[in-house]
Structure 1
Amino acid sequence: MLQSEVPAPATYSQYVPDILGEGFEQLTITPADSPDYEGDVFSTLVRYQAAAPTTRAVLYVHGFNDYFFQRELAQNYGAHQFNFYALDLRKYGRSIRPHQRPNNVRDLREYFHDLHAALARLREEGNTTIVLSGHSTGGLITSLYVREHQEQAGIAALVLNSPFLEMHQPWLLRKIGIPLMRRVGARWPDLQLKTALSAVYGESLHRSYRGEWDYNLEWKPNQVFGMNAGWLRAIRWGHAQIRRSLNIKVPVLVLHSDRTARRGHPEDVFETDVVLNVAHIRELSPWLGSRVTEHAVEGAIHDVFLSREKVRTEAYRVLFEWLGRVLPAA
């Protein structure tokens, strides 16, 4: 079932300690639509609770070639009296199984089952004011989810971190090459496409190279996972929905860098977005809804909250001041 109706309940494991260490727990979700075209599917909910009891929570969804590893993000939300949850979507990170291709999807609405299940669990645990947040591809997925389910999902606000609203490719490829591959994806969704994405972004993040962060390079490799034609078709469907206007009713915050990297300047990777074109984010953010706040963070990278310390401190300031304005008093 891929349409807008709400599926039957998912099933959940018990919480166990998470790989991120003290304060972090995880449980495994078996979504209502399992199995899919590759077999059984699972998603993983990671939890970090605020020190004092609260009914506020955030659910964070990662990007492409990604999973949740940002302890600092969770701790900042916790310090501001939010219970923090992150969802490793099916076929990503903690949720990958040996019979699956990483990131393999044919319709972005497949992920809605994961989101339904995670949000139901948040509500079961007493969270009544819920913020949904997504980075990059997660920003696209969460925006589409809120558009289709804003009445029953009970989302109070949407926070997007460099959302993937358009392909960052040359005009000829976007207008001719990608539409051709999208048609191919309808017939041969498992056809693997050659990726031309550089490893420079990943190498700028991981502490084994030039970055400050530690994470599992098997789950978030510097040279990104391959893309299937079905994945590309699903993404372009999502982009088409953005351009038709999503009409999201809840407040939306869009954070992104102030600049896209210049070609041939590798040091820009530490203070610009080298993955997406911020001009596309600026252009398309107003199409998300009527209550959109767009904010360019000077010197930010693609994942704003993995930028240098001074930059991400400013991003946290903007985020929590905005949440303080748009959410009801705790």
Structure 2
Amino acid sequence: MSTSSPDILGDDWVQRTLTLLPDTGLPAPEATLVHERGAGSRRRAVLYVHGFTDYFFQADHARAWTEAGYDFYALDLRDYGRSIRPGRTPNFVTDLAVYDEEVGLALGEIRAAGAQEVVLLGHSTGGLIASLYASDHPGAIDALVLNSPWFDLNSSWVNRVITTRVLDAVGPLLPRLRVSTLGEPYGRSLHTSTGGEWEYDLTWKPIEDVPVYAAWLRAVRRGHARVARGLDVQVPVLVCTSARSGHPARPTAADLAGADCVLDVRHIWQRAPQLGVDVTVRRFEGGLHDLALSVAAVRASYEHSVFAWLAERLPSS
């Protein structure tokens, strides 16, 4: 790992580069671990894993974790956000298991800094990645918290079944075939330039023309299938979602103000029991897809619920 350097979030934050194994024929990938200065002083820590076409910028949410007694770390996965490198395709993998490398390295750094208990926190696609990692690496973490994890395709039966079978055949042959585009309404509702509350880098978390590639979607659907068959997460799991979903392509103003307009929350509720033997599901009225970006009252309710659950489920200090 390289030495620490200042982070874009300001003087209180630093970032470190995680050097990853090279890809054949491509520039070597890197991931980025972000944390507040002085992290390593607490016995408990949390590692945050972001979603698709996303990166860590939610400093207010991180501050809530530190106030609750946790060192907060965030991972910009390879080819996302701070980890985008020339010559590589942003947001692209052909197997979600490749992310095990940087998640494992980050957890190793956190343990080495002194954390005795570590929570893995995943949002959306990051929630799927975190769930698979926790199942495949028993003993690596002490609790799993999921913020609107992506457990199924929010689409028609044809796309969920028939198109998935087509992707299995097409993905390996035409990995970068563009099969879809990420919907714009949710992103527009978030960013300050289009009337939202949040300021973030639109080159790293774009609103428009975000491609979805065949091999990447195939990898995600294979992850969904694993969840459907049942995982073996051996630590306590908290699954948090909005109380309802809005239409992903044609949401109403009320949907954009207080519903998940990316995923069908019913899919999450149905799949959550498949994660392990100790799973709690919490639903939040007025929650957005990223509960940490919901209106202040919902954010506070979400954070309070997470910290209260952790206080009950993790061993006392």
**Which TM class, normalised by the smaller chain length?**
over 0.9
Residue number among 7, 16, 19 corresponding to 2:8 in the alignment: 19
Please give the residue correspondences for 1:93-172 in structure 2 after superposition, counting only pairs within 5 Å. 93-151=81-139, 153=140, 155-172=141-158
Indicate the percent of aligned positions where both proteins have the same amino acid. Answer: 45
AA aligned opposite 1:280:
H
Residue 219 of structure 2 corresponds to 234
Instruction: Tell whether 2:179 aligns with 1:190.
Output: no
**Aligned length in residues:** 315
Matching residue of 1:48: 36
Of 277, 289, 299, which residue of structure 1 is paired with 2:276?
Answer: 289
Deviations 1:113-139 (A, max 9, x none): 011111111111111110001000000
- What CA distance in whole angstroms lies between the structure 2 residues aligned with 1:88 and 1:36? 22
CA distance in 2 between counterparts of 1:210 and 1:255 reads 26
Post-superposition CA distance 1:30-74 (Å, at most 9, x none): 12x223453210000001257893111000000001000000111
Q: Which moved more, 1:21-30 or 1:275-284?
A: 21-30
**TM-score normalised by structure 1 residue count:** 0.92
Q: Residues 36 and 46 of structure 1: is their aligned pair in 2 closer, same or farther, counting only changes over 3 Å?
A: farther
Residue 134 of structure 2 aligns to a residue whose secondary structure is helix
Q: Alpha carbon RMSD of aligned pairs, Å?
A: 1.5
Q: Does 1:78 align with 2:66?
A: yes
Look up the equivalent residue of 2:123 and give its one-letter code: H
Residue 269 of structure 1 corresponds to which residue in structure 2?
A: 256
CA distance in 1, matches of 2:164, 2:284: 30
* Cα offsets for 1:219-239 (capped at 9, x unmatched): 000125212211011111101
Q: Distance in 2 between matches of 1:295 and 1:109?
A: 27
- What is aligned with 2:207? 222
TM-score (norm 2): 0.96
Q: Secondary structure at the match of 1:316?
A: helix
List alignment gaps of at least 5 residues for structure 1.
1-11
Check 1:51–1:44 CA distance in 2 against 1; reply closer, same or farther (3 A cut). closer
Judged with a 3 Å threshold, the aligned counterparts in structure 2 of structure 1 residues 37 and 143 are, in CA distance, closer, same or farther, namely farther
CA distance in 2, matches of 1:219, 1:289: 33
